[in-house]
């Protein structure tokens, strides 16, 4: 059980003026302030760092690896100052869960003013993307 990762998906934040959240502690004086730009992706604490400077997708984009894919994408978002270009040439296997996560990541980054492009999907993976109806969602 100790090696398992848990992901908490965050919902919509309460609207301004709808009352205070009693579960939110007041920040301590001198404490770091959180990032106010919500891109919908959160870097999980205690994660291992990926390759420095490398923005490459893992070989498997399937439901069994959705947690680690989420972490990779969150790290890309946290490290990016502008648009994000991701190398997809190592992808060997995809399913709809992996494609949905890639599409959601692209959409969430567009809401913050960043463009995401996936470069170099192998031909067989590109065929799967088109047949599954994700070509327009993943195209730059």
Q: DSSP readout, 50-83? A: -STT--B--SEESGGGHHHHHHHHHHHHHH-SS-
Residue 21, pLDDT > 70, answer: no
86-120 pLDDT, tens digit per residue, is 999 999 999 999 999 999 999 999 999 999 999 99
Ranked by mean pLDDT, the top range of 17-26, 53-62, 114-123 is 114-123
Q: Is residue 27 scored above 70 in pLDDT?
A: no
**88 alpha-carbon distance from chain centroid:** 14
Distance CA 128, CA 95 (A): 9
Tokens coding 125? 């993976």
Indicate whether 43 pLDDT > 70.
no
Q: Which of 29, 78, 85, 35 is nearest to 55 (CA)?
A: 85
The pTM assigned to this predicted structure is 0.65
Q: Poorest-confidence range of 25-34, 75-84, 111-120, 128-137? A: 25-34
Q: Give Cα 17 distance to the centre of its chain.
A: 29
pLDDT of residue 137: 93
pLDDT > 50? residue 34: no
> CA angle 8-12-45, nearest 5°?
30
User: How sure is the predictor about 37, in pLDDT bands with cuts at 50, 70 and 90?
Assistant: low
CA atoms within 13 A on the CB side of 68: 15
Distance CA 70, CA 128 (A): 21
Chain-centre distance for alpha carbon 31: 26
When pLDDT is cut at 50, 70 and 90, the band that residue 140 belongs to is low
Q: How far is CA 105 from the centre of its chain?
A: 5
Nearest to 60 by CA among 86, 89, 105, 94: 94
Record the tokens describing residue 55, joined without a space: 């923005």
Of 30-39, 107-116, 119-128, which gets the smallest average pLDDT? 30-39
């Amino acid at each position: 059980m100790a090696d398992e990762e848990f992901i908490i998906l965050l919902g919509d934040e309460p609207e301004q003026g709808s009352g205070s959240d009693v579960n939110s502690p007041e920040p301590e004086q001198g404490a770091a302030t959180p990032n106010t730009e919500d891109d919908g992706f959160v870097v999980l604490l205690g994660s291992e760092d990926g390759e420095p400077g490398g923005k490459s997708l893992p070989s498997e984009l399937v439901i069994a690896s959705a947690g680690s894919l989420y972490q990779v994408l969150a790290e890309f978002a946290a490290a990016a100052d502008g648009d994000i270009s991701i190398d997809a040439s190592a992808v060997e296997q995809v399913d709809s869960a992996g494609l949905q996560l890639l599409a959601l990541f692209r959409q969430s980054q567009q809401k913050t003013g960043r463009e995401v492009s996936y470069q170099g999907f192998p031909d067989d993976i590109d065929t799967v993307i088109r047949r599954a109806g994700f070509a327009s969602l993943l195209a730059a």
